[in-house]
């Protein structure tokens, strides 16, 4: 798709797609990292796709973004979400930051920038810690 076409999508639509793209990358990384039962894979996955983790990831990659990518994340962060869509485990500001990350991943996916998605994802994976509770569940 051309950038002009991708920019026609609302930030929440891009985030909808980006959530799936990001979630698939997390699941793939976990499965390829260790062959373990689903009862261990699922909590490890949830920990890395929850809003507080994604909000930290969004802040982490901001210095690495191009001008266009930063603008897309800003659109995602400023998108209006209903209060009902914010999970109980998150606050609205954190949820908006997480949405900005998903928006970026959806945007890059539609542009076909799969190498860039991988680059950003790997940076997040290597530089963002999971909570100690999630680490305990792995064992």
Catalytic residues: 19
Rg (CA), the chain: 15
21, 124, 130 from 135: Cα distances, Å? 23, 17, 7
The Cα 137–Cα 79 span in angstroms is 34
Question: For residues 45 and 138, what is the distance between their CA atoms, to the nearest angstrom?
Answer: 11
Give the Cα separation of 101 and 94 in Å (integer). 11
User: 73: which 2 tokens?
Assistant: 């994340």
Query: Could you tell me if 104 and 73 are in contact, meaning their C-beta atoms sit under 8 angstroms apart?
Result: yes
């Amino acid at each position: 798709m051309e950038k002009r076409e991708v920019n026609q999508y609302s930030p929440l639509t891009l985030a909808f797609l980006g959530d799936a793209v990001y979630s698939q990358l997390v699941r793939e990384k976990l499965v390829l990292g260790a062959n373990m039962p689903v009862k261990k894979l699922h909590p490890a996955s949830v920990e890395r796709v929850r809003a507080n983790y994604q909000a930290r990831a969004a802040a982490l990659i901001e210095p690495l973004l191009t001008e266009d990518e930063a603008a897309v994340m800003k659109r995602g962060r400023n998108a209006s979400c209903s209060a009902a869509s914010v999970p109980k485990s998150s606050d609205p500001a954190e949820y908006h930051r997480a949405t900005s990350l998903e928006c970026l991943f959806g945007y890059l996916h539609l542009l076909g920038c799969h190498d860039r998605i991988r680059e950003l994802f790997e940076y997040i994976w290597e530089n963002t810690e999971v909570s100690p509770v999630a680490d305990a569940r792995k064992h």
